[in-house]
Amino acid sequence: MTELRSLVIVLGDQLDLDAAAFDGFDAALDAVWMAEVAEESTHVWSSKPRIAMFLAAMRHFALELQAAGRPLHYSRLDSEGNAGSLGAQLKADILRLRPARLVMTAPGDWRVLQAIRAVAEAGDLPLEIREDRHFFASVREFAAHARGRKTLRMEYFYREQRKRHDVLMQGDEPVGGRWNFDADNREAFSADGPGAVPPRIRFEPDAVTREVIALVNARFAQHPGSLDSFAWPVTRVQALKSLQAFVEQRLPLFGRYQDAMWPGDPWLYHSHLSAALNLKRLNPREVVAAAERAYHDGHAPLASVEGFIRQILGWREYVRGIYWTQMPDYAQRNALNARADLPAWYWTGDTDMACLRDALAQTLTHGYANHIQRLMVTGLYALLLGVEPRQVHAWYLAVYVDAVEWVELPNTLGMSQYADGGVMGSKPYVATGKYIQRMSPHCKACRYDPAQRSGDSACPFTTLYWDFLMRHEAVLAGNPRMSLQVKNVARLTDVQRQQVSERATAIRRGEVGPSGRT
């Protein structure tokens, strides 16, 4: 038997034939290793759409590898003897295949990196971890940017990225004379609604995906969510079609309605490309280039194109830098000492709060919610309620088809829950129900009133907003960006404080809501 030179490890979110792990790959000497293991679906209670997304994309990638003539050792979840975890499966396969070394592209998850390192060390095998060149910036470049800075704001990093990669630049200046068109990108829909939004591009499951759907429904029957409308892009060709459809149909209005919400429609003018990007079916360079081209061709306005590019070249790269420069301590942060449990209805959508019910229903049905629903509906409610950040993190990592820890954790712990004490955001993103009322018509169909902070019809967001400010008054007083809100809370009388506290306690005890008293 000829010796296996390199076993190239490919994880479920590394589905790229051009990844660094394949540099120098020789089909006569090397082989690829992939494994479906239950632990990746159970270490957080993953939703059916998320599990199916990863498995379907992995199985299609396996076919692409075979077509490219790269020998592959692939363990299916349902194959006899599947070891159940990445570490255990890799260990068993190393004993069987006896490679001289392991090679992989840097993984996106701290836990997985530790597990693979442990197997390599135990087997006394060299493990070569190669740069993930999927990203514009390396972790080292981000660390260099971060060095010596007191705060790590996305905006400065983003400007460096624009210059370094010559994106939307005219010489040394940003195209259009401004770096940021955020102020133009905050519109809500009129009372008539979003109008004729193009239908979302759907990919009907082929035989491979149907087999995965049946497997997930059988094996993970108790997990949240449904696969009845699964239509995500799981192949490279489908991912490219998704990109093309977004640029042609949605990008022109992306910026304008970036923060808007509409009941029953999570898709709106968003791209729905996050899962394809995070599983590496799409490269951010081709996504940014397609958007920039649409601006130069006169197909989409600058505010939309800049707004979209900022999400990819700015936010996406910035959160990755935060993750890898702050882990592993980052995952333990709880700056606001939040201790409450995540309400059980986050897993079912069974609440009478119209905005939350809608966001949760879409999440469970599609494994998707748009950014503003994640930040200002589900995230805001957990923050105001004071849910322990690790529980919020476990929920976000479980439910979305695009959830991979390097991107999910900083968004949840940092941006949404302020659990990192200000590494990512200069203040907690807190608001009353009136914010949701401004950005969507949900409140019209809700039994609660966003203008009321106490009493039986008070919107729980509004009650909990004031309760949040009261609970954290002393800490927030030291934050200049919170001074207005702190001044407002200082004006409350003792009676008003008492009323807010009583209502907040009733909400916490679950006495408000579908099964509660009021």
Residue 274 or 437 with smaller CB distance to ligand SF4: 437
Q: Which lies closer to ligand FAD via its Cβ, residue 216 or residue 287?
A: 287
Residue 433 interacts with which of ligand FAD, ligand SF4, none, CB < 5 to 8 Å by class: ligand SF4
Structure-block tokens of residue 54: 């990863």
CA distance 314 to 180: 11
Residues in region 324-353 near ligand SF4 by CB under 6 A: 353
With CB under 6 A as the contact rule, the residue among 412, 432, 454, 485 that binds ligand FAD is 412
d(CA 64, CA 434) in angstroms, rounded, equals 49
Least Cβ distance, residue 307 to ligand FAD (angstroms): 9
The number of helix segments (H) and strand segments (E) in the chain equals 23, 7
The angle at the Cα of 68, spanning 63 to 73, to the nearest 5 degrees, equals 55
Whole-Å CA distances, 175 to 162, 197, 492: 10, 28, 47
Question: Does position 513 bind ligand SF4 by CB under 6 A?
Answer: no
Residue 188: DSSP 8-state: P
Is position 402 an interface residue for ligand FAD (rule: CB under 6 A)? yes
Instruction: Note whether 60 and 20 are within 8 A (CB).
Output: no
Query: In angstroms, rounded to a whole number, what is the distance separating the alpha carbons of residues 362 and 377?
Result: 13
CB 339 within 8 A of CB 388: yes
Among 220, 396, 461, 468, interactor with ligand SF4 by CB under 6 A? 461
User: By C-beta, is 33 or 318 nearer to ligand FAD?
Assistant: 318
By beta-carbon proximity to ligand FAD, the closer residue of 83 and 188 is: 188
Sign of CA dihedral 289, 292, 298, 301: positive
Stretch that binds ligand SF4, among 14-22, 147-155, 315-323, 436-444 (CB under 6 A): 436-444
In the set 375, 384, 439, 446, which binds ligand FAD (CB under 6 A)?
Answer: 375
Amino acid at 237: V
Q: How far apart are the first and last CA of the chain?
A: 73
Rule CB under 6 A: say whether 271 interacts with ligand FAD: yes
**Contact partner, 87, from ligand SF4, ligand FAD, none, Cβ < 5-8 Å per class:** none
Q: Which is nearer to ligand FAD, 119 or 322 (CB)?
A: 322
Closer residue to ligand FAD, CB minimum distance, 75 or 242: 242
Neighbours of 123 (CB within 10 A): 16
Contacts of 222 (CB under 8 A, 6+ apart): none
- Beta carbon of residue 369, minimum distance to ligand FAD (angstroms, whole number): 7
User: How many residues bind ligand SF4, per CB under 6 A?
Assistant: 14
Q: Minimum Å distance from CB 436 to ligand SF4?
A: 4
Burial (0-12, 13-18, 19+ Cβ within 10 Å), 482: buried
Q: Which of ligand FAD, ligand SF4, none has residue 370 at its interface (CB below 5 to 8 Å by kind)?
A: ligand FAD
The site partner of 403 among ligand FAD, ligand SF4, none (C-beta below 5 to 8 Å per kind) is ligand FAD
Strand duo 31-35 + 72-75: pairing = parallel
400 is in the binding site of which of ligand SF4, ligand FAD, none (Cβ under 5 to 8 A by kind)?
ligand FAD
Interatomic CA distance for residues 86 and 13, integer angstroms = 13
> Is residue 459 part of the contact set for ligand SF4 (CB under 6 A)?
yes
Site string (438-457) toward ligand SF4, x via CB under 6 A: ----xx--x-x-x-------
Written as six digits, the tokens of 121 are 């060390």
Phi and psi dihedrals of 104, rounded to 5?
-155, 160
Q: What size, in residues, is the chain?
A: 518
Least distance in angstroms from the C-beta of 321 to ligand FAD: 11
DSSP 469: H
Q: Which of 278, 351, 363, 454 binds ligand FAD (CB under 6 A)?
A: 278
* 353 contact, one of ligand FAD, ligand SF4, none, CB 5-8 Å limit per kind: ligand SF4
> Which of residues 63 and 445 has its CB atom nearest to ligand SF4 in the complex?
445
Q: Identify the helix (H) or strand (E) that includes residue 73.
A: strand 72-75
3-state secondary structure of 439: helix
The site partner of 446 among ligand SF4, ligand FAD, none (C-beta below 5 to 8 Å per kind) is ligand SF4
The single residue among 326, 363, 416, 454 that binds ligand FAD, judged by CB under 6 A, is: 416
Contact flag: residue 504 with ligand SF4 (CB under 6 A)? no
Choosing from 61, 136, 232, 315, the residue that interacts with ligand FAD (CB under 6 A) is 315
Exposure string (b/e) for 390-416, b if CB count within 10 Å is 16 or more? bbbbbbbbbbbbbbbbbbbbbbbbbbb
The reply to whether 216 sits near ligand SF4 by the rule CB under 6 A is: no
Site for ligand SF4 in 350-409 (CB under 6 A): 353-355
Contact 298, 399 (CB under 8 A): no
d(CA 295, CA 171): 17
Which of 272, 453, 472, 503 contacts ligand FAD by CB under 6 A? 272
* DSSP reduced 3-state for 130: strand
Query: For residues 315 and 435, which CB has a smaller minimum distance to ligand SF4 in the complex?
Result: 435
What are the residues binding ligand SF4 (CB under 6 A)?
353-355, 433, 436-437, 442-443, 446, 448, 450, 459-461
Q: Which residues of this protein are in contact with ligand FAD, per CB under 6 A?
A: 270-274, 277-278, 308, 311-312, 315-316, 319, 370-371, 374-375, 379, 396, 400, 402-403, 407-408, 411-412, 415-416
